[in-house]
Structure 1
Amino acid sequence: MIAYIEGKVIKKSPTYLIVKNNGIGYAINTSLQSSSKIALNDEIALFITQIIKEDSNKLYGFLDDNERIFFEELIKINGIGPSTALALLSNLSVEELCRAISNENISIIIKAPGIGAKTAQRLILELKDKVLKLGFSTQSNALYEAAQALLALGFKNDNVQKALKDVNGDNVGELVKNALKKLS
């Protein structure tokens, strides 16, 4: 079983790489999240999930091991195969997907090709508890810091989470400012 590959990228398309390692070229499917950080001729290291079926043997590679772990959790869900899992991880980062699952935000999840409302509901149902158990962050660092600042000001956690749920901002200050408007 292949779990990790280091090598030079000799061919690249948006979701497909050929990585040369010791004279062998490995065909590796990848998400847009990982692929966007890789250039032709880069020396890279990928965490691999190998899926062997009766008629195929495919490699799925990720720059981040959390993305690989989440991919493996996604393909365990009935109705979500490797292609659909890659589509999800191509459209949403692991952090964004975890946040959507934790907040039960179906509208974000169904933006990925091949994901309908029923599949999104099943995904939320099966992964909501696992997201926390596996230690995936459901908030960006800025959101976390903004939440901590609002809690320090004396607001209750439930109110803080609701206020930050749909708040936009590029930094902690903006997030706190916009959340305070909602909390007032």
Structure 2
Amino acid sequence: MITHLKGKLVEKNPTYVIIECNGVGYFLNISLHTFSSIKDEENIKLFTHLQIKEDSHTLFGFAERSEREIFRLLLSVSGIGSSIARTMLSSLSPDQIRDAIAGGDVATIQAIKGIGGKTAQRVIVDLKDKILKVYDMDEVSLPSNNTTKEEALSALEVLGFTRRQSGKVVDKVLSQDSSLSVEDIIKQALKNL
């Protein structure tokens, strides 16, 4: 297995690069995230993933080890192939994908071209526990522009609950009914704290 390539950057495009190592040119498929991370330097190092099929050997390159890990996790999901995984990494950064999966954010995953609702849910169901374990994370609360959520969290803090503790409960309450008022969110959360 080829774990990384370090050599001279011969050609750079948004979808692939060619790296020359000891006289051999390697064609690596890349995401837009990796493309934007590669500086126009003469010598570069990319982490790799080799995909072997009956009719082809395809090499993928990643600027960061974490991007390769997310790519490999995505490939483990039924219905996600290398082209969809690469599209996902071109649309979102590895950290954004990781946080969306850990937070159960179906809308963010579904917003990626080629990902439908069922596939987005399957990605989250299949990978959420793996992501939480591999990255040693607690469940991530979804990013929210919701002022009612913030007001409810602030009120619960005043009542003596930690933001982390109350955040999980408030997220659970909002996942059941996102149209609740601040008072109703607090009442429901207090029943579960």
Q: Shorter-chain TM-score: what band?
A: 0.7 to 0.9
Code of the residue aligned with 1:128 in structure 2: it is K
1:159 aligns with 2:155: no
Aligned to 2:79: 79
Aligned to 2:98: 98
How far is the alpha carbon of 1:44 from its aligned partner? 1.0
Code of the residue aligned with 2:130 in structure 1: it is K
Two-structure CA RMSD over aligned residues (Å): 2.6
Q: Which whole-Å deviations, capped at 9, do the CAs of 1:122-160 have from their partners, x for residues lacking one?
A: 000000000011116687xxxxxxxxxx89985432434
SS in 1 for 2:59: strand
Code of the residue aligned with 2:24 in structure 1: it is I
How far is the alpha carbon of 1:61 from its aligned partner? 0.8
Q: Is the 8 A contact 1:9 1:39 kept in 2?
A: no
1:8 aligns with 2:8: yes
How far is the alpha carbon of 1:161 from its aligned partner? 5.5
Runs of 4+ in 1 over 2 A off after TM superposition: 39-42, 136-139, 150-156, 158-164
Q: Hey, what's the Cα distance between the residues in 2 that align with 1:107 and 1:152?
A: 28
Q: Hey, what's the Cα distance between the residues in 2 that align with 1:34 and 1:162?
A: 37
Q: Which whole-Å deviations, capped at 9, do the CAs of 1:96-134 have from their partners, x for residues lacking one?
A: 111111221111111222111110000000000000111
1:129 aligns with 2:129: yes
TM-score, normalised with respect to structure 2: 0.72
Aligned to 1:50: 50
How far is the alpha carbon of 1:39 from its aligned partner? 3.6
TM-score, normalised with respect to structure 1: 0.75
Q: Hey, what's the Cα distance between the residues in 2 that align with 1:30 and 1:38?
A: 10
SS in 1 for 2:18: strand
How far is the alpha carbon of 1:90 from its aligned partner? 1.1
List gaps (5 residues or longer) in structure 1: 140-149, 165-182
What fraction of aligned residue pairs are identical, expressed as a percent? 41
Matches within 5 A, 1:34-45: 34-45=34-45
How far is the alpha carbon of 1:41 from its aligned partner? 4.4
How far is the alpha carbon of 1:89 from its aligned partner? 1.0
| Equivalenced residues, count | 156
How far is the alpha carbon of 1:10 from its aligned partner? 0.9
SS in 2 for 1:36: helix
Q: Hey, what's the Cα distance between the residues in 1 that align with 2:56 and 2:136?
A: 31
SS in 2 for 1:84: helix
**Change in CA separation of 1:152 and 1:24 when aligned onto 2, cut-off 3 Å:** farther
Q: Hey, what's the Cα distance between the residues in 1 that align with 2:5 and 2:49?
A: 11
Q: Is the 8 A contact 1:30 1:61 kept in 2?
A: yes
Q: Hey, what's the Cα distance between the residues in 2 that align with 1:155 and 1:98?
A: 27
Q: Which whole-Å deviations, capped at 9, do the CAs of 1:66-101 have from their partners, x for residues lacking one?
A: 111111111111100001001111111121111111
List gaps (5 residues or longer) in structure 2: 141-153, 172-185, 187-193
SS in 1 for 2:77: coil
Code of the residue aligned with 1:123 in structure 2: it is V
Code of the residue aligned with 1:159 in structure 2: it is S
User: Which protein shows a greater Rg?
Assistant: 2
